[in-house]
Amino acid sequence: MNFNKDFIWGCATSSYQIEGAASEDGKIPSIWDVYADEQGRIRDGKNGRIACDHYHRYKEDVKLIKDLGVNAYRFSISWPRCFSYTNERGILKPVINEKGFDFYDRLIDELLENGIDPWITLYHWDLPAILETQGGWRNRDIHNWIADYSAEVAKRFSDRVTKFFTLNEMPCIIGGYMGWMAPGFQVSEKEHINIVHNMLLSHGNMTKAVRANAKQNVLIGCAQNGLGNYPATDSKEDYDAFIKAMNCVEANPQAYAPLEGSKCFDANSLIYYLDAIHFGKYPEKAFEIFKDKMPEIKDGDMELISTPTDIQGINIYEGRPIAAGSAPGVKDDGWHVADFPCGMDITGAKWPITPKSMNYYFKFISDRYKKPIYVSENGMSNADIVSRDGKCHDPQRIEFTERYLEELSKGIESGADVRGYFHWSLMDNMEWSNGYKERFGLVHVDFETQKRTPKDSYYWYKDLINSFRK
């Protein structure tokens, strides 16, 4: 494993998952506040009203970040904490909440005073609930709503913050319209594809808004996720199959491989989103497959979507081995997802552990889009407990991270332009629809007492970072 001295080492969180203070100091409800209050939505019946109480404990948490030794911290701004809205004759007008902005002013200053570079994510899923009443991501106007908010964030913080991500994980935002995330209802496939268009318009308009209002040069891009596919073997045939899989825009909803005639939109299709952002066009195959399901593209849309960016964030947790040849009994594009080994290693969330996701996948992205890449999230859920010795031993997370970083190093050696790594997450948190049943943190949180206990992985990550700075 080898990383240069300029490599960025960081950790990451998001506002809804850690802040709490759900109705304090003028914050209005988000779609996640509403969703979590609906019986049966959250796995353990909990909500994010308190979460990690980071809103009141941010100084303690910044000290944990400093002691960890990272030089960057990725966090999100809560849109409903900073903006509220009035409804005047059916027209929503934004109202700035100064107390919300004050919190992030204090947080940013605290980070900088401790030598930590703040990386802001503008949108990490906590849409103001009042905007969902106007259609939320189904409404094309959202690209203007979110640009107004992004412009104000840039005005307030770009004197001290120079790195911005626009949207976090667009496929998961779509999950809110598939029933398994907030706002929690299902729409048609045509509407899914239209939502993607609205998100991409938003990304472009957010990028423009930040640049227009920034007080200094900034780096900006989105943080996108997907399945980190990799060749099942070292053969040329499997590598070629891997390339075919990466260029796929359709899938069987029950499997991660295309089926002849399925013509189902694959929300995890990396190129569908990133080709639009970096090339200003959707893949031609999408028009062939989805035809009248494709969105109405108005004059200037693709130009806005492809507003130049500086960086590409990639959130990566798992992938699939891709092999040459059609799946048994299936006529498709000449590739299929190979079987995992019997007894495949899995995380606490039952996700497969696939370190090779960090290698070929990043080389593909780097070669195709020619942008500096940052691993904006990577980590694992684990069954972590504080032992009777007062410590939290998590050897599985250490093993996971080491194996993933080893493969990332190989990818960089082969030419992938990856310049930083943000571990997900700093601390255990409210893990969306799974509530508090999943622990991803380097720091254990007792949600009853709010006691923070750094895990063994925290100290391992600290030592690893220090080893590359010598």
Task: From residue 145, give the alpha-carbon distance in Å to each of 16, 183, 212, 235, 271.
Answer: 20, 18, 16, 49, 26
Report residue 390 as tokens: 């007062």
Contacts of 46 (CB under 8 A, 6+ apart): 36, 430, 435, 436
User: How many CB atoms lie under 10 A from the CB of residue 395?
Assistant: 11
Please report where in the chains the tokens 């990332």 appear, as a residue.
Answer: 408
Pick from 226, 131, 125: which is nearest to 166 by CA? 125
Task: Write the DSSP assignment of 279-330 as a string of letters.
Answer: HSS--HHHHHHHGGGSPP--TTHHHHHT---S-EEEE-----EEEESPPTT-
Q: Count the residues in the chain.
A: 470
What angle, 0 to 180 degrees and rounded to 10, lies between the N-to-C axes of helices 456-467 and 395-413?
30
Catalytic residue among 19, 110, 152, 377: 377
| Residues 19-44: b if buried by 16+ CB within 10 A, e if exposed | bbbbeeebbbbbbbbebbeeeebbee
Pick from 356, 376, 335, 341: which is nearest to 248 by CA? 335
Task: Count the alpha carbons within 13 Å of 408 in the hemisphere toward its beta carbon.
Answer: 23
Asked about 19 being catalytic, the answer comes back as: no
Task: From residue 116, give the alpha-carbon distance in Å to each of 4, 187, 250, 428, 433.
Answer: 19, 42, 41, 20, 31
Catalytic residue among 19, 110, 152, 169: 169
Helix (H, G, I), strand (E, B) or coil at 265: strand
Pick from 219, 106, 217, 211: which is nearest to 151 by CA? 211
Distance, CA of 186 to CA of 174 (rounded, Å): 10
Asked about 377 being catalytic, the answer comes back as: yes
Pick from 350, 308, 363: which is nearest to 438 by CA? 350
Residues carrying an active site annotation: 169, 377
